[in-house]
Amino acid sequence: MALEKEQQQWGRLNGCLLVVMVGMIFYCSWLNNKIVTRSYRLNELRQDEKKLVEERDKLQAELATLKRPQNLARLARALGLQEPLPGHKVVLP
Amino acid sequence: MKRTLKRTLKRTGHEAREERRRLQLRIGLVAGVVVFSLVAVVARAYFLQVVRHDYYLACQQQQRSSNILVHCDRGEIRAADGGQLAINVKGRALYAEPRRIKDGRSLAREIAPILELEASALEQRLSGERGFVWLKRSLAPAQVKALQPWCEKEPGLAFLEESQRVYPNRELAGQVLGFTNIDCQGQEGLEVYYEKFLKGQQLYLELEHDARRQVVDSSEYPEFEHYKGKNIYLTIDRQLQAWAEAELERAVSESRGRGGVALIMNAADGAILAMAQNPRFNPNSKLKNNPSLWRNRAVVDLMEPGSTFKVFTLVAALESGLFKIDDLIDCEEGKYKVGRRTIHDTHEYGKLRLDEVLKYSSNIGCSKIVSRVGAEGFAEVLHNFGFGSRSGIDYPHEPSSRLRPWRRWRAIDLCNLAFGQGVSVTPIQLVAAYAALANGGCRVQPHLVSRIVSSAGWTVYEHPCPSAPQRACSSAVARQVDQALALVVEDDGTAPQARIPGFRVAGKTGTAQKYDFVEKSYSHSDYWASFVGYVDPPEGQSRKVVYVLVDEPRSSIYGGMVAAPAFQRLNRRLVSYLNYASKAEFAKLEMPETEEPAVKDAAAQPSEALQQTANLMPDFTGQTIRDALALVGGYRRSLKISGQGRIVAQKPAAGTLLAPGLDFVFQLSSEI
């Protein structure tokens, strides 16, 4: 009787261990899968970031070109602006 | 019955034993196979993991990872106001692996028009067993888009990302900045002088791949920003630079000259505020320009200073103690014989005060002064002002000014030197010497870079403040010479055109004959006309030395006629810009109406571009809609625009003859 009880306990323990082991295997697989999926996603985002940085650089270059003193002067003249007349320029202390 | 039972039991016991023995044998056999298998597996594992460990590790690394070389961006060059003068943008280059290309001939025929290359030359590059060959660097966005399908289709064809150096201000300070080569290595100007600071580091990055060669992101991605080159801040002010270039261009075109140089230098600390040159040069299209335009003449070219050098004769006279400023010099009515040679003045002067010798720019007066001062005394003064050596400006290839040893000067050589012949200096050396006078006799080193800042924001270099400046002459002499220079712009001086109402201006004209190396004598037609001087600032501000030089002017040869008006116009802008003027003074100040020099690119100059292309539809692909609108405005057509980004398609096609009433259709896309 006692032997049977002991065998049952061992059986339950083995069953539990098996469930834990299978669970861990599934968890590790899921985790690994997540890591790989996230890595791909991260890589995609890095590529997107690179494209955005490129676009930003190009826009900055364009902005710097448009803000050239000669360009601003040309545009100002085209808009009918003139050099400041006497009294227009006030220097604050 | 009993016997039978016994026999049966005996047989059963025997069979049971037999059965057990057979069972044990089977178990032993299976156990043996299992044990043998396990031993085999362990042995194999040992072989793979221990014996061939290095080999298989290398195989694994080769299959799973790859090293790529990353060139981190070059540092930027910025003006004093923070405006970007040289920046980087990412571009694409096309390369091929010929050994992976099956049909190089047909591929060459297909992509040659996109790359704007000869099909035969391209075919030659695509043939053979080479592992890598460049097809084209610095591709335009439209080319990248057109080549994209080919790269996806052809395994031996791919893009490589590369950094491109861009100069957004185009011609502004083009010669000062210099340029880089296609690999972003400095080649000319500041780009090469500060190469070690500007260049970005090279990093090897290890990437992990999956079975399909897709990159699995590595968490050990470096912060590329930290490996970028350092940013350089110049002393150049973009606005002053633009005005200097505009006024110089006007002076050159009005005098029908060959070119010119204009400089603005802060006399107190040696900061160069503007360094202009004409003709100008756009570093973005360096290869389309004549290489002679790449040279920064303000630093590299030696020229005879002419009469602008006479001021140092006056300094030598006063420093020697042999003369006082009101001493009279007999100018011999315009002719003076030294040995067998005769020195002339442009006008016949009698007796002139020492300061009047400078005011009227008398060659004879200067000759007589140095003859009395002596070669040694004069040479010492010239050396004190930095002549005979380099100015030390942070720019490559600066030559030393040419000044022969004083012991080898003959009497006539000494006289010639007194009025700026027989000596060669660069514009920057002359300006640095004038800056010493403007600074009360203290020399400062001219410089273009004020500070260098790392990508993390740390200042790694800052131009030192002149703590103990070298004295070129006493402050009393500098003051007397300053007063003499102010006479030059009086009504009867040589440069009344340099005067600005409401301000005290001091300066000196220069009209130097060019040496004709063919005739081996001074030319009678080619001159350098120059003016150098400064305007007195309000208290608390330092003087800014302004120099204007026109090479081979034709309308007039005199510095007072050619360069002085440009000096005056530039200074009128400068005094307003630097707040020299009080409200009352500002009321008297009229701004010059010089237009900024025309920009030489099609987008910013539609009328010229339209004239050149007549009635043909231009190619707008790759341009922004803003640039295109600037051009289209001249055609007076209606527009249809779809999408956003840059132009990828257009109607009518480029090169089509434009019929009246035809509308323009632009397809834009941001995926270039």
Per-residue pLDDT, B596: 61
Chain B residues closer than 8 Å to A53 by CB: 90
Q: Tell me the residue range of the domain where B412 lies.
A: 238-588
Asked if the structure places residue A59 within a domain, the reply is yes
Domain interval for residue A22? 2-68
Interface of B with A (CB under 8 A): 83-84, 87-90, 166, 168-170, 172, 210, 214-217, 221, 238-239, 241-243, 246, 576, 579, 583, 586-589, 591, 593, 595-597, 599, 604, 624, 670
CB B170 to CB A46 under 8 A? no
| pLDDT at position B264 | 98
Judge: B216–A64 Cβ closer than 8 Å, yes or no: no
Give the CATH number, domain containing residue B449. 3.40.710.10
Higher per-residue confidence, B143 vs B469 = B143
Q: Indicate whether A74 belongs to any domain.
A: no
Give residues with Cβ within 8 angstroms of B93, minimum separation 6: B134, B136, B137, B138, B139, B159, B160, B161, B162
Substitution target in B72, B77, B89, B599 with the highest count of A β-carbons within 10 Å is: B89
CB B122 within 8 A of CB B111: yes
Do B84 and A62 count as a contact with CB atoms less than 8 A apart?
A: no
B639 lies in a domain?
A: yes
pLDDT, tens only, B512-529: 999 888 888 888 889 999
Report how far residue B355's alpha carbon sits from residue B492's, in angstroms, rounded to the nearest whole number.
13
Structural domain contains residue A31: yes
Residue B613 confidence (pLDDT): 37
Residues B195 and B249 reside in one and the same domain: no
Residue of A nearest to B168 (CA): A65
- Pair B268, B439: CB distance under 8 Å: yes
- The verdict on residue A56 lying in a domain is yes
B293 touches B175 (CB < 8 A): yes
To the nearest whole percent, how much of chain B has pLDDT over 70?
Answer: 88
In a domain, B61, yes or no: no
Q: What average pLDDT does this structure show over B403-430?
A: 93
Among chain B residues, the shortest Cα distance to A77 is held by: B595
- Name which of B123-127, B181-185, B201-205, B457-461 the model is least confident about: B201-205
Residues of A in contact with B586 (CB under 8 A): 86-87, 89
CA distance B672 to B651: 19
Question: What distances in angstroms separate CA B391 from CA B115, B235, B427, B516, one per listed residue?
Answer: 47, 16, 10, 27
pLDDT confidence of residue A36: 86
- Judge if B177 and B317 occupy the same domain: no
Please report the pLDDT score of residue B183 as a whole number.
86
- Residue B58, domain member (yes or no): no
Residues of chain A with confidence (pLDDT) below 70: 1, 85-93
Residue B283 has pLDDT above 80, yes or no: yes
**pLDDT confidence band for B589 (50 / 70 / 90):** low
Rg (CA), chain B: 39
pLDDT for position B141: 80
Distance from CA of B187 to the nearest CA of A (A): 21
Q: Is residue A91 part of a domain?
A: no
Residue A92 pLDDT = 65
Same domain (yes/no): B42, B73: no
* pLDDT above 60 for B610: no
B534, B553, B588 — which closes off a domain? B588
In a shared domain, residues B611 and B540 = no
How far is Cα B206 from Cα B210, in angstroms, rounded to an integer?
14
Residue A37 lies in a domain: yes
Q: What is the mean pLDDT of residues B424-446?
A: 96
pLDDT confidence of residue B193: 96
Q: Does B377 map to a domain? A: yes
Is A60 part of a structural domain of the chain? Answer: yes
pLDDT of residue B601: 43
**Which residue of chain B comes nearest to A70, CA vs CA?**
B596
Contact B92, B182 (CB under 8 A): no
Domain identity same for B324 and B185 = no
For residue range B639-672, list pLDDT tens digits in order: 777 777 778 788 777 666 566 566 778 888 765 4
Phi-psi region at B391: left, alpha or beta (left = phi > 0; alpha = psi -120 to 50): alpha
Least confident of B3-17, B324-338, B478-492, B614-628: B614-628
Our count of domains for chain A comes to 1
Judged against a pLDDT cut of 50, whether residue B386 lies above it is answered with yes
Spatial distance between the Cα atoms of B488 and B496, rounded to a whole number of angstroms: 7
Same domain, B242 and B128: no
Quick check: is B437 in a domain?
yes
Same domain for B634 and B527, yes or no, is no
Looking at the fold, whether B341 and B463 belong to one and the same domain comes out as: yes
Q: With respect to residue A81, please indicate whether it lies within any of the assigned structural domains.
A: no
Nearest to B77 by CA among A58, A37, A64: A64
Domain count within chain B? 4
CATH number of the structural domain spanning residue B645: 3.30.10.20
SS3 B185: coil
pLDDT digits (tens, 9 = 90+) for B39-91: 999 999 999 999 999 999 888 887 887 777 778 889 999 999 899 999 998 88
B163 neighbourhood in chain A, CB within 8 Å: none
Lowest pLDDT segment from A58-67, B245-254, B317-326, B389-398:
A58-67
pLDDT interval class at B219 (50, 70, 90)? low
The CATH number that applies at residue B187 is 3.90.1310.10
- Residue B286 and residue B221 in one domain: no
